[in-house]
């Protein structure tokens, strides 16, 4: 069973790379900020979520949250439905960055616009990395001798 530190490192790297690639492909105004958002989201939230839902009290702890079926649903249904959220956040970041260039605004207003742009970019990266972060957890667990259950449903006795 991989430990939480292993899941954080693996998910962090996956989150960083996946969100940065998505940001570059989408023409993000702040791809590095998005990559940081992806790293943080995956390493500290989605990369350890499966074990929060099903705590690793034994090698037999893996149920639906650790299943191949959930991985397929996340990849095929959830990830595509989250993409518009990241697109909107990127668009808002670009709008705030344009506002930050407006010389008629005060220094505080321009600073606020830059800060808002960065928060939107962080969020876009977090959204882009959420599913890959979770899937990295399942991939790490799949590499263990117990692997992953297909459906994770409780056994009937």
pLDDT digits (tens, 9 = 90+) for 81-130: 999 999 999 999 999 999 999 999 999 999 999 999 999 999 999 999 99
46 belongs to a structural domain: yes
pLDDT above 80 for 2: no
- Mean pLDDT is lowest, of 41-50, 90-99, 104-113, 144-153, for 144-153
Sign of the dihedral defined by the CA atoms of residues 9, 15, 18, 19, in that order: negative
End-to-end CA distance of the chain: 26
28 belongs to a structural domain: yes
Residue 157 has a pLDDT of 59
Residue 149 has a pLDDT of 85
90 belongs to a structural domain: no
pLDDT above 70 for 155: no
Alpha carbon distances (Å) from 86 to 24, 114, 126: 13, 18, 9
pTM: 0.90
Residue bearing the bigger pLDDT, 105 or 56? 105
104 belongs to a structural domain: no
Mean per-residue pLDDT of the chain: 93
14 belongs to a structural domain: yes
Distance of alpha carbon 35 from the chain centroid: 10
Structural domain including 24 reads 4-80+125-142
Which of 143, 121, 133 lies closest to 12, judged by CA? 133
pLDDT above 70 for 156: no
61 belongs to a structural domain: yes
Mean pLDDT, rounded, for 127-148:
93
Q: CA-CA distance, 134 to 35, in Å (whole number)?
A: 16
* Model confidence band, residue 147 (pLDDT cutoffs 50, 70, 90): confident
Residue bearing the bigger pLDDT, 34 or 157? 34
50 contacts 138 by C-beta, under 8 angstroms: yes
Count CB atoms within 10 A of the CB of residue 156.
4
The pair of structure tokens assigned to 94 is 């670009």
105 belongs to a structural domain: no
Total number of domains constituting the chain? 1
138 contacts 66 by C-beta, under 8 angstroms: yes
62 belongs to a structural domain: yes
């Amino acid at each position: 069973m991989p430990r939480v530190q292993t899941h954080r490192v693996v998910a962090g790297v996956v989150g960083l790379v996946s969100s940065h690639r998505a940001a570059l492909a989408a023409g993000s105004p702040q791809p590095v900020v998005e990559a940081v958002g992806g790293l943080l989201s995956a390493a500290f939230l989605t990369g350890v979520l499966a074990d929060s839902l099903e705590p690793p009290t034994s090698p037999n702890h893996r149920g639906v949250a650790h299943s191949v079926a959930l991985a397929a649903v996340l990849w095929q249904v959830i990830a595509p439905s989250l993409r518009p959220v990241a697109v909107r956040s990127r668009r808002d970041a670009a709008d705030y960055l344009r506002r930050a260039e407006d010389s008629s605004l005060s220094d505080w207003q321009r600073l606020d616009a830059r800060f808002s742009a960065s928060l939107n970019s962080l969020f876009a990266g977090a959204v882009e990395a959420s599913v890959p972060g979770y899937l990295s957890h399942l991939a790490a667990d799949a590499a263990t001798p117990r692997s992953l259950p297909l459906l994770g449903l409780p056994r009937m006795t």
